[in-house]
Amino acid sequence: MKKTSETFIDKTVVFFLVHLVLGCFLVPIGIVGWQIYEYLRHDIWSSMSIVSALQWGGVKWASAPTDWVGLHRILEWMPLSLTFVVVGILILVAANTD
């Protein structure tokens, strides 16, 4: 009976990780697609950084940082779509290390 529950847990973890990694590679396509749509419709390229996502999520620090200003600058520089790809790769690397 114990093997069945371990197998179920293993399959559940693998299922979760596969979908998480898949999302990490599909979300950037959606982000870039939205940016292209906005550009074609309004002739404005909307740059999306991690700070943009934090601002959209209502994080006050992202709008007016008073501390960790260097971190804010780095996060503002990093494209949001690339961040998802990097996170997906890190998850794959972590999952493949035994």
Give the C-alpha separation, 41 to 53, whole Å: 22
Distance of alpha carbon 90 from alpha carbon 88, whole angstroms: 5
DSSP codes joined into one string, 9-58: HHHHHHHHHHHHHHHHHHHHHHHHHHHHHHHHHHS-----BHHHHHHHTT
Query: How does pLDDT run along the chain (98 residues), one tens digit per residue?
Result: 455 666 877 888 888 888 998 999 999 999 999 999 999 999 999 899 999 999 999 999 999 999 999 999 999 999 999 999 999 999 888 888 75
Look-up of token digits 């790809």: 85
Asked whether the beta carbons of 71 and 62 are under 8 A apart, the reply is no
How do the domains of the chain map onto residue ranges?
Answer: 2-96
**Separation between Cα atoms, residue 98 and residue 79, nearest integer Å:** 31
Distance of alpha carbon 33 from alpha carbon 96, whole angstroms: 30
Predicted local confidence at residue 38, as pLDDT? 95
State the pLDDT at residue 4. 63
> Which H/E stretch holds residue 84?
helix 80-96
